[in-house]
Amino acid sequence: MADLINLFIDDVAVSVPKGTLIVDAAKRADIDIPVFCYHPKLKPVGMCRMCLVQVGRVKLDRGTGQPVLDANGSPEIAYGPKLETSCTTPVEPGMRVITNTDLVKRAQKDVLEFLLTSHPLDCPICDKGGECPLQNLTLTYGPGVTRFDYADKQHLDKHYPLGELIFLDKERCIQCARCIRFQDEIADDHVLGFYERGRKMQIETMSTPGFDSKFSGNTTDICPVGALTTRDFRFRARPWEITNVPSICPHCPVGCNISLGTRRSAKGGGEWEILRVMPRQNEAVNEIWICDKGRFGHHYARSQARLQKPLIKKEGRLVEATWEEAFSLIADRFRAANGKAAGWLGDRVSNEDAWLFGKLFREGFNSAQLVNRPHVAGLDLVARYGVGVGTNLGNLGQGDVVFIVAGDVEETAPVHMLRLKAAVERGAKLIVANARETKMDRYAAISIQYQPGMDTQTVYSLLASVSNQQSAISSQVAKFAPSDNKIKAAGQLIAEAQNLIVMLGDERPYPVMVQGQYTDAGRALAQACANLVVATGHIGKANNGLLPLWPHNNTQGVYDMLSAQGAEALSGEVKALYLVGTDPIGEGQNLPPTDFVVVQELFLTPTAQQADVVLPALAWAERDGTFTNAERRVQRYYKALPPTGQAKADWEIFRLIAEKFGLKWSFFSAEGVMHEIAAQVAAYAGLDYVCLAETKEEWPPVGTSSDLYFGGTAYDNRGGVGAQTKSLFEINGRSELKWIEPPPPSGQSIEPRRLNRPGTLIDQSAIYEVRLRAAELVKIEA
């Protein structure tokens, strides 16, 4: 490796890249230097002085600038007169660092004594007890007694609400500023700050409402003491009482790795429940961050409103029934439909569920009418031209360009926003095109605000400015040659890009009538984005291609499973309709005319209330499965809770119904279903639950040290880092440019995406209700 620096730490030879801080170099040599303010994801500030070490540098001749050699021909080492902070001092060639001299030990003890002068003895009741860096480091490095007079202790607020979700114990705070720095440097939400000075210094919220950030919960993870706690976990359990189960966030297309902290509840009669959700480190996906929706939006899994038993409509009312009654009725009515059956499948279910749903329709119901809801344009194009295997937003930097069109990354895929901001700081260029301003405009090299409904035309103007080569669509693209200097400049960035990712959103008008026919503006935009990456050659390799801002967690996976089985759109008469994990009536839409409706859900939604049969399904935390995120990374999640009532996993329900049609499927676990998927879906070839559970060493090793070296409660990845599937272009090398005429601006309204918006699941998470905001309608001018 180029630019390696060789040095010694406690007489251990270490080689690390140039620019590495001493504290990180020591960690690579498995030498722990205690820290409080330092965190490898934040900029070093040297505030707490806990990481003081003795540093010796090679002595240089003032005249020649060459090392001064001793009698043995070795460079002489000159130690500085004072200790130095290892969290702010980069390594140098030949440097010698000593972390355990008497002077260093005295400094560490003194720093801890200062920190503990007014720190309360709350360990027996503190939420951080058992995983607290201050507690651990005090036992290892601190004094056994204090010289400070108890009467002089500072007494401050102990249950101070910074916001609706985060509480601050001001007495426990050690002023490391990690929370402030996270909000300033990572989240770019400047909502926390210091108030007062000296011993009276306190953390205060600077926003209205308090602590107004989509990432506030991360501050509780990186807080090295119990000063910051979450509203739903504080005083609920001790860390050693919790069983942590690896999982995947069930909300957005990022696919953040999480750990579900579970325990039996005394108040709940001994039932298992999720007490907290913590990030699980995966540097290729979410690093160590999650948004507040992923952290607090899990309570629906144990909602009292969950469906417990099957329901059948009798005399106009839904009444409880047995599974056998429900299955027999479904079999009779779908058999009578004689192939005129249709299925609507939501995009939150697992890959295994989606596969068996399609298989049930194909082999049992003799129908291929399957709809992936909600309707999303461009799924097939992402499957073909999506970002290549090895894509990692954390690796983007100089020479890389990301183009975001018709999407709000912060609202749709929040953690992507954090990673793109960091990529820009490393030198990547960001181009943002939207009909409205978004937070991503802060980091954009070029921001293009187009007339609402002109998104596709904007993409083609970019393509016209980039490519002069003749192609199948050259003449059509030429009509959109840009006159706007911003678009020309953006085209120049794309033309010079070594790597290009196009992030495709869906903030656009709904399908509208044009010349007597409905035109899907989303399809036209998706095709334009596909043409852009194909025409410029940015497909089939890492950090190149389409990266969609899908509405939910498994939009891509559900499409993959249904399309592989020849799913078709609804057409003709529908005598029996089967809906799973979707609520079109609740979304203001109508069901197609039909004689019989089955709904498989967690709750009695407006659609379920109109059904003839309602089947209770398991929540994601109650079963095993996989999701495929927007980068087409297949990730495994694990059962963390026992079933609610008589509910069953979706895939199991499909298998039991199939038995009524004489089908003998040998699936007795989700893992078995994945074996068939791997055998029949080209992009998923070679995947199984074993390879999806494989882990790898992560750097920085946050949360893996026995002493919680980096002072956080993010967990190392023990559930697997997943596997990214190949795009169809990577499999067969086929690409084409296809023209879809951009529809004119419609004059209709679009609905900007909102992370915190009401919905079937999030409405059941009462703790998060305070963050819900109604979606704002923006009127488009024709």
Return the biggest CA–CA distance within the chain. 102
Prediction pTM value = 0.94
Asked if residues 347 and 583 have their Cβ atoms less than 8 Å apart, the reply is no
What is the layout of strands, in order, in the sheet containing 341-346? 317-320, 311-314, 613-616, 596-601, 576-580, 341-346, 370-373
The rounded distance, in Å, linking the Cα atoms of 257 and 715 is 10
Topology classification of domain 311-375+555-714? Rossmann fold (3.40.50)
- Which pLDDT tens digit goes with each residue over 222-248? 999 999 999 999 999 998 999 999 999
List where CATH 3.30.70.20 sits in the chain: 133-230
- Which pLDDT tens digit goes with each residue over 618-677? 999 999 999 999 999 999 999 999 999 999 999 999 999 999 999 999 999 999 999 999
- Which pLDDT tens digit goes with each residue over 410-468? 999 999 999 999 999 999 999 999 999 999 999 999 999 998 889 999 999 999 999 77
List where CATH 3.10.20.740 sits in the chain: 4-100
The rounded distance, in Å, linking the Cα atoms of 244 and 155 is 35
CATH number of 133-230: 3.30.70.20
Tokens representing 305 are 């409103």
List where CATH 3.40.228.10 sits in the chain: 380-549
CB-side exposure of 611: number of CA atoms within 13 Å?
31
b/e map 564-576, b = 16+ CB within 10 Å: bbebeeeeeebbb
Burial of 235 (0-12, 13-18, 19+ CB in 10 A): exposed
Give the DSSP H/E element, type plus range, for residue 48. none
Residue range 4-100 forms a domain whose CATH class is alpha beta
Find the distance separating the first CA and the last CA of the chain, reported in whole Å: 57
- Which pLDDT tens digit goes with each residue over 549-572? 999 999 999 999 999 999 888 888
The rounded distance, in Å, linking the Cα atoms of 136 and 103 is 21
pLDDT at 705: 52
| CA distance to 59, 105, 322, per residue, from 77 (Å) | 6, 21, 81
pLDDT band at 715 (very low <50, low <70, confident <90, very high): confident
- Which pLDDT tens digit goes with each residue over 669-712? 999 999 999 999 999 999 999 999 999 988 888 756 554 455 66
Classify strands 499-504 and 517-519 as parallel, antiparallel or unpaired.
unpaired
Nearest to 526, CA basis, from 743, 379, 744: 379
Looking up tokens 């398991």 gives: 618
- Which pLDDT tens digit goes with each residue over 97-106? 999 999 999 9
Any residues with CB less than 8 A from the CB of 469 and at least 6 apart, and which?
535
| In this structure, CATH architecture of domain 380-549 | 3-Layer(aba) Sandwich (3.40)
